[in-house]
Amino acid sequence: MDSKKKLYLAFIMNLFIFLATLGVVISYFFGNDGQYHIEPSFRFNLFTTDSNILCGAAALVMAVFQLRQMKNNKPVPKWAFILKYTGTCALSVTFFTVIFFLGPSMGFMDMVFGGTSVYMHFFGPIIAFVSFCFFETSKPLSMPVSLTGIIPTAVYGAWYCTEVVFITAENGGWQDFYGFNQGGYWYITYPIMILAAFGLCMLVRAVHNSMSN
């Protein structure tokens, strides 16, 4: 496939990611409370919502620069690729957490395929991965850059631990809705999540760079 077709398809996918994410988030304020009846404001405490918003914003940035490139052949800046990479890695964490942890423990039909969750947990991550790794391949990523993909998971994990473990639900913090502190083992699950996120960052980078070469 030539570079112009790849650029056009990447633009279409990024525009879709942004619009689909925006539509789902807006739906939270118009009665879409999901299987677990989650309040709209609390949705932003979930990594699923945050990672999709991050990637949706990155997709919009990429789409704007890709449109510019199609019009006047100015290349997409590297920082935009890094932002899209970071968002794609965050959604990869969402995808694999649901597939291997939340789905088996909470039920796949509700967690993965229930309502708009099918986009936020499944199609969104898949489209982001495909667009970044197979169509946005003009700039290979260095190893230091790949560390940026860990940032969303590390920041959210610290926030989650603070709310669940240190503030606690009794004092106005969060319930352990992800179950990462079962048995009080947050100090084990947090490093595991960081290591898993790092592994996914390496995977995304490896696939992206192999297609770039």
Q: Which amino acid is residue 144, in one-letter code?
A: P
pLDDT tier at 103, thresholds 50, 70, 90: confident
110 vs 117: CA distance, rounded Å: 8
Give me the mean pLDDT over the 134-144 stretch: 91
The better pLDDT of the pair 208, 187 is held by 208
Write out pLDDT tens, residues 11-60: 999 999 999 999 999 999 988 766 666 788 888 999 999 999 999 999 99
pLDDT at 177: 86
Tell me the longest C-alpha to C-alpha distance in the chain.
58
Q: Which amino acid is residue 40, in one-letter code?
A: P
Among 91-95, 110-114, 168-172, 179-183, the minimum mean pLDDT is found in 110-114
Single pTM value for the model: 0.93
